[in-house]
Amino acid sequence: MKKLTVIVPCYNEQETLPIYYKEMCKIMLQMQDVDTELLFVDDGSTDGTLSVMKDLHTLDERCQYLSFSRNFGKEAAIYAGLKNADGDYVAIMDVDLQDPPELLPKMYQILEKEGYDNVATKRSTRTGEPKIRSFLSESFYKFINRISKTEIVNGARDYRLMKRKMVDAVLEMSEYNRFSKGIFEWVGFRTKWLEYENVERSAGETKWSLRKLFTYSLEGIMGFSVAPLSLASIIGLLFCVLSFLMIFVIIVRTAVWGDPVDGWPSLVCITFMVGGVQLLCTGIVGQYLAKTYLETKHRPIYILKDSSEESCNGEKG
């Protein structure tokens, strides 16, 4: 019998975990032709998330868990799950049930019968989401698809089911600064997209603030496009050309009309503008340099503090 591993990243989700497990039990009951396990990844939660995971593991051996030494972020949790998943098929799913579990049997059948390597999901609507957040998300997808060769589908979710070959390809990209939506598209493979309407969280509150979403979007832009660096170079070139033109105009004006003193306010404004553009371009280069610096340090993407495998080994010992 083939094995399916479902990776479930969790951060302060003690309320949603029991609800998620109850719903997944119904799905696993439907999928009798595959051996399914749930791999919960505790991303350094500060509530009782890890305790709930341990209780589920004691209750049901199909529930495995990993626990980080601190909060490393969802991208690290996804990578850790992929690294430790040993299923022939591997799924990634949010614990808050915004990723409908009832789609999983259909996704599995598609991979089994239709020859695809990956079944991914995207939201057809953003009902219930704040309008400003929806606008910023849609703007991000339009922008990154214009400047990047890797096309990222608008509304794409992390919720997907992959064959082992694609999982191994993703794991080969062991970069520290990760943007999974881009990585999944970059590795290629045949993908079928399923659409579904936006679903509200089953419990708890979202951990994604606008600030975190903005930071995450920068990871995607800098991870899959060098267009900002090119933009900085183009702006610098334009201002060089503009400065030479201004020097020529000043020389001609001085030769014809003399050198009047007035005009210093506009000069101050121009100085501030050019200085701002220089700082902007330096900042763009600095961001890429910072990412390069972090990559060269070769720090681990995550650090495990506890896991169900260690717990089992401890019990056996």
pLDDT tens, position by position, 58-112: 888 889 999 998 888 888 888 999 989 888 899 998 888 888 888 888 889 888 8
More confident residue, 131 or 32: 32
- Do 51 and 200 lie in a common domain? yes
Domain span holding position 264:
227-297
Would residue 94 count as lying in a domain? Answer: yes
Query: Is residue 21 in some structural domain?
Result: yes
Q: Give the model's pLDDT for residue 208.
A: 55
For residue 293, the model assigns a pLDDT of 66
Q: Give the pLDDT score at 227.
A: 62
> Model confidence over 106-138: pLDDT tens digits?
889 888 888 888 888 887 766 656 667 666 666
Claim to verify: residue 201 and residue 243 sit in the same structural domain:
no
- The answer to whether the CB of 20 falls within 8 A of the CB of 202 is yes
What are residue 120's DSSP bridge partners?
Answer: 160, 193
CA distance 310 to 313: 5
Residues in CB range of 235: below 8 A, 6 or more apart: 277, 280, 281
Radius of gyration, CA atoms only, the chain: 25
Indicate the pairing of strand 3-10 with strand 35-42.
Answer: parallel
Return the amino acid letter for 162: M
- Is 213 contained in some domain? no
Same domain, 180 and 270: no
Residue 174 lies in a domain: yes
What pLDDT sits at residue 228? 67
Q: Are 147 and 221 in contact (CB under 8 A)?
A: yes
Q: 213 falls in which pLDDT band (50, 70, 90)?
A: low
**CATH code (residue 140):** 3.90.550.10
Residues 187 and 286 in one domain: no
Asked whether residue 282 falls in the same domain as residue 304, the answer is no
Highest mean pLDDT among 1-5, 151-155, 223-227 belongs to 1-5
Percent of the chain surpassing pLDDT 70: 63
Quick one: 72 and 179 in the same domain? yes
Q: Any alpha helices (H) in 180-298, and if so which ranges? A: 180-186, 210-224, 227-257, 264-297
- Would you say residue 170 lies in a domain? yes
Query: Pick the residue with more confidence: 217 or 298?
Result: 298
Identify the pLDDT of residue 216. Answer: 58
Contacts of 133 (CB under 8 A, 6+ apart): 210, 213
Q: Within a domain: residue 141?
A: yes
Specify whether 287 is located in the same domain as 305. no
Q: Within this chain, do residues 47 and 194 fall inside the same structural domain, yes or no?
A: yes
Number of domains forming the structure of the chain? 2
Quote the pLDDT of residue 115.
Answer: 81
